[in-house]
């Protein structure tokens, strides 16, 4: 078992694939949660649970790491509060105001923002092959978003939901880039502090929902959604993503975000009964090809 776990921990492609699969499940969970728990409370619930559980499991490691982290409190607040909690809030709220077409296209911009940010902030070299991979992957994402009908692109129009999702993409790209300068502490310890920051910054939004009378307390389905997103998208995905950034850097890790809309479509087929179309298969092939190219098999890509 330990050998299997060690093998998994050394395979960034597998870790990132699982990461995006869990994130795609978060999209389905978000749809299921409508009417069963309000977005602000859902976001707060996922981070408050982690901020209570993780310190119990890793109290000694967190105390040991605090000497290193206490001067980086602003970094912890920005990464956990903005990069995780506010990203979640914007994502959930945007889904109430814009279309899946718009969200799909905007999510596909995250790898481009990451690669550009890695170049501007860290001086990372961006090869032609990486650029081509991002473009090909983005075409795959757009194919899913447009459902294989390019003429729908002309019908797109920006609204408040689009702007919220654009902000969410920028925040998560910033989170990915921020991992490049993470303190020298174990990933699980760092994530534990991120969770505390996420809980603190998402709390006012839940309170605002309660004050405005728009809070929806979770029913049975709502608690199932909370359990899923706490364990998988909130915990395992973030740990896997942290490890992957350690192994291959933020630029190439960010490219895998393109898999999320693809997995969302596939999960929709199996869990929500949606039909599988030819364009799903074509888009999946494009995204996988784009990831293969953008991973920078040559030694030119950046590493943490």
Residue with tokens 């364009």: 279
Grade residue 285 by pLDDT with cuts at 50, 70 and 90: confident
DSSP-derived secondary structure letter, 257: G
Enter the pTM of the model. 0.78
Instruction: Check whether 14 has a pLDDT greater than 80.
Output: yes
Q: What is the pLDDT of residues 93-111, one digit of tens each?
A: 877 776 555 666 667 677 7
Rounded average pLDDT over 65-88: 92
Rounded average pLDDT over 36-51: 92
What's residue 299's pLDDT? Answer: 35
Instruction: Write out the DSSP string of 112-158.
Output: HHHHHHHHHHH-----HHHHHHHHHHHHHHHHHHTTT-GGGGGG---
Phi, psi angle pair for 40, to nearest 5°: -65, -45
Instruction: Check whether 31 has a pLDDT greater than 90.
Output: no
Q: Does residue 298 contact residue 127 with C-beta atoms inside 8 Å? A: yes
Q: What is the pLDDT of residues 53-69, one digit of tens each?
A: 999 989 999 999 998 99
Total length of the chain: 304
Instruction: Check whether 166 has a pLDDT greater than 70.
Output: yes
Instruction: Check whether 250 has a pLDDT greater than 70.
Output: yes
DSSP, collapsed to helix, strand or coil, labels residue 44 as helix
Measured distance CA(193)–CA(201) in Å, rounded: 12
What's residue 101's pLDDT? Answer: 52
Instruction: Check whether 157 has a pLDDT greater than 60.
Output: no
Measured distance CA(18)–CA(304) in Å, rounded: 21
Q: Does residue 93 contact residue 34 with C-beta atoms inside 8 Å? A: no
Most confident option among 54-58, 264-268, 271-275 = 54-58
Q: What is the pLDDT of residues 190-246, one digit of tens each?
A: 999 999 999 999 999 999 999 999 999 999 999 999 999 999 988 898 889 888 888
Q: What is the CA radius of gyration of the chain?
A: 19
Rounded average pLDDT over 119-140: 77
Measured distance CA(225)–CA(218) in Å, rounded: 9
- The CA-based angle 295-19-152, given to 5 degrees, is 75
Q: What is the mean pLDDT of the chain?
A: 81
What's residue 87's pLDDT? Answer: 92
DSSP-derived secondary structure letter, 98: S
| Residue 212 CB-density burial (10 A; 0-12 exposed, 13-18 middle, 19+ buried) | exposed
Measured distance CA(120)–CA(267) in Å, rounded: 36
Lowest-pLDDT choice from 107-116, 145-154, 167-176: 145-154
What's residue 154's pLDDT? Answer: 56
């Amino acid at each position: 078992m330990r050998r299997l776990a060690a093998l998994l921990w050394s395979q960034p492609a597998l870790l990132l694939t699982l990461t995006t699969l869990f994130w795609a499940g978060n999209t389905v969970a978000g749809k299921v949660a409508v009417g069963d728990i309000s977005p602000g409370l859902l976001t707060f619930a996922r981070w408050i649970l982690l901020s209570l559980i993780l310190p119990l499991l890793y109290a000694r490691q967190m105390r040991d790491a605090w000497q290193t982290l206490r001067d980086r409190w602003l970094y912890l607040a920005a990464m956990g509060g903005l990069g995780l909690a506010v990203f979640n809030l914007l994502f959930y709220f945007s889904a109430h105001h814009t279309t899946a077409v718009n969200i799909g296209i905007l999510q596909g911009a995250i790898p481009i923002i990451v690669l550009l940010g890695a170049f501007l902030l860290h001086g990372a070299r961006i090869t032609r092959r990486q650029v081509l991979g991002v473009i090909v992957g983005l075409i795959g994402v757009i194919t899913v978003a447009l459902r294989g009908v390019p003429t729908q692109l002309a019908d797109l129009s920006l609204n408040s939901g689009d702007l919220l999702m654009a902000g969410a993409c920028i925040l998560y790209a910033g989170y990915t880039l921020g991992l490049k300068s993470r303190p020298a502490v174990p990933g699980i310890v760092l994530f534990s502090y991120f969770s505390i920051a996420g809980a603190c910054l998402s709390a006012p939004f839940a309170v605002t929902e309660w004050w405005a009378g728009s809070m929806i307390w979770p029913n049975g389905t709502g608690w199932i959604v909370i359990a899923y997103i706490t364990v998988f998208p909130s915990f395992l995905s973030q740990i896997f993503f942290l490890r992957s950034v350690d192994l291959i850097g933020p630029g190439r890790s960010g490219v895998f975000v393109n898999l999320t809309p693809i997995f969302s479509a596939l999960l929709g087929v199996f869990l929500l009964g949606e039909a599988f179309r030819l364009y799903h298969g074509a888009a999946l092939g494009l995204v996988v090809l784009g990831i293969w190219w953008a991973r920078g098999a040559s030694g030119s890509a950046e590493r943490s």
